[in-house]
Amino acid sequence: MELFKTVVLLYVLAQPTNLQLLINVKNQGGDVMQENITANVSEDTVTLEFQRLDGVYVSQLVDFTNEVEAMKVVIPGEEELGQTGYQTLCFLSHAAQADFIAPDAMAKLRQKNPGTVRVAEEDKGWRQTTASAWAGRATRLLSAAAAAHCAAARDRVYLRAADLTRWAPRPGMDQSSYMSAVTPFPAHALSSDAADGKQAVAACVTETDMGKECICHLEICVNWYPCGLKYCKGKPQGGLSYRCGIKTCHRCYRYHFYVRRRDACYNYT
């Protein structure tokens, strides 16, 4: 029984059903925030969402069937900078990099002590992604769930063209279908060297002309998420191990992407 008292979320033997968990999480600064985790077994997806203290909303979806991870970020404008409303961005990557537990396993989790403030057991560090294209129609070709998740981002859905070779072609398609569906960034935006007679694109943090193109940098930290299953040993006479809890992790993401105008960078750098 003492073992179960230390388990954050219990893995129970039950038929998979859709699940929604509301978790109190402590961030790196010591502040407490809430995360909402949803497992959808029928769609084979897991979604984690939260709002940062600066008002930025983050929603991370993993589509396990199609191996697509979609990170959606909604950024409010700053009035003193003349920014109105908010901006929605979405970043697609191959889900082999995602280390969430699968929806059917997630749906069996039951939270113990819902009011407890959680701290991740393992820090996964930083994952850096430099986008090279606007996803365009490829979002819908890759994953209907990701397309719905990123719909509000419209033309601000980004990916690395190199990742397209990692997704298996869908029925009736070949690999070139993905490549023709995306819009690559300008060649000079993808290199630190001048190309086509144009000067290499500067980082937005150093660009003062609001009308000039630049490379934006966006950082997102997911402070707590289920990243693996724990196994406990059975009674000595049986000797079999069984699933008895979860492992939790913390991971940060750093995205680099091209914008045609500095003022499209909003209140990130």
Q: Tell whether the model's pLDDT for residue 52 goes beyond 50.
A: yes
Give mean pLDDT, residues 33-38: 93
Distances (CA, A) of 234 to 73, 171, 184, 240: 43, 44, 54, 5
**pLDDT 10s digits, 210-243:** 899 999 999 999 999 999 888 887 765 566 777 7
Question: What per-residue confidence (pLDDT) applies to 121?
Answer: 92
Task: Supply φ then ψ for residue 136, to 5 degrees.
Answer: 55, -135
Which region among 130-134, 151-155, 186-190 has the lowest average model confidence (pLDDT)? Answer: 186-190
What is the pTM (predicted TM-score) of this model?
0.85
Q: How many CB atoms lie under 10 A from the CB of residue 30?
A: 6
Give mean pLDDT, residues 132-161: 96
Q: How far apart are alpha carbons 117 and 18 in whole angstroms? A: 23
Give mean pLDDT, residues 46-71: 95
Instruction: State the sign of the Cα–Cα–Cα–Cα dihedral 248, 252, 257, 260.
Output: positive
Boundaries of domain holding 222: 2-265
Q: Tell whether the model's pLDDT for residue 63 goes beyond 90.
A: yes
Q: Tell whether the model's pLDDT for residue 107 goes beyond 70.
A: yes
Q: What is the tally of structural domains in the chain?
A: 1
Task: Supply φ then ψ for residue 81, to 5 degrees.
Answer: -100, 5
